[in-house]
Amino acid sequence: MTILDDKAAMERLDAEGMVRLIEHFDEQITRGMELGAAVDLGSIRRDYNAIAVPGMGGSAIGGDLLAAALAPTSPVPVTVVRGYHAPAWIGKQTLVFASSYSGNTHETLSALGTAVEAGAQVIALTSGGRLGELAKQHGWPLVIVPGGQPPRASLGFMFVPLWMAVYRLDLCLSPEAELKELATLIRSHEAELGLSVHTSSNYAKQLAEKMIGHPLYIYSVDGPLTPVSYRWRGQIQENAKMLAGSHSFPEFCHNEITGYEKPQEYVSDAIAIVLRDPDEVPQLRAQVDTSVDLMRQAVKEVIEIEGKGSTAMVRALGLIYLGDWVSFYLAMLNGVDPTSITSITAIKAAINKAMG
């Protein structure tokens, strides 16, 4: 019997309870709506012309999704800042969503310091730490999210309040209907993908069994799905301790597709996951269909997955949830604790040492 059908064995391996956080993602969505609706935005001026989201890892993906949510309608661009330095364009007319789950992310605090010196307005999103202290000292609007869990398992807390906040700042229509639909969708997915569902009826377990032991490439179409392929990649890396690549269409068609023309042995053994949307414009659909046909000639298998839901954002977040389950089951097949991040912890210790 595979470990994926041995619930007790999986629970022993998942010593820190990552599965419980995945199972309760719908509750994060509901709570995130409440947090975003409650934060006091009265001090925020409405003269900003850009939004910056300093963040790293699981604290940055919310910014990626915010950019995707606003892109179709908002005149204000959203840029995620992953690094120590805020770009020079950040200034008095920039709204900064400082996103650090722990509140102590070195890169985020450094970039935030530069942005504050430039006069940017700040809204803080954190469970506490130094960022929480700074928000209270400066009087910034502060969203305090529940702490004590890995940032990558806190997506509902690190994205939904941002989406609610920009709605309240008149940058988009209300996301409440979409978020309620999403919470319902997640609950149905949990019933189909959860630990107790046998592999024969569990799509996430089936995907994990196909993917284990193979080079992995995760692709998505442009739009709200662009951050989803990146999220799948990150979750597979952190939870399952496996390398994976990601890219998006149509840019894929201008470079990466040529890498399949003369594939090396590792490519012929690869699994390619292509995340798709039913509303792809005809020219994009033609690009992806043709690319899939070409890839099928070079790799072990191409698996196309289309999201469910009435809007692009609901479909994107539903696919993120599927990817979280897949990464968990890959961890089980690899025999590793999905919560443990030994390498990242070692790097953080090195940063602290370098800072004295």
Positions marked active-site: 238, 254, 348
Quick check: helix, strand or coil at residue 143? strand
Instruction: Compute the Cα dihedral for 94, 99, 103, 104 and give only its sign.
Output: negative
* Pairing assessment for the beta strands 271-276 and 216-221 based on DSSP bridges: parallel
DSSP code for 113? H
DSSP code for 314? H
Instruction: Tell the residue number behind the tokens 């799905």, with chain if given.
Output: 225
Strand order in the sheet with 271-276: 245-249, 216-221, 271-276, 301-306
The secondary element (H helix, E strand) that includes residue 155 is helix 155-168
Region for 168 from its dihedrals, namely left if φ exceeds 0, alpha if ψ lies in -120 to 50, beta otherwise:
alpha
Amino acid symbol at 32: G
Instruction: Tell the residue number behind the tokens 């979409």, with chain if given.
Output: 178
Structure tokens at 324: 């979280």
Quick check: helix, strand or coil at residue 246? strand
Instruction: Please state, as a whole number, how many other Cβ atoms lie within 10 Å of the Cβ of residue 12.
Output: 11
DSSP code for 91? S
Structure tokens at 85: 């330095």
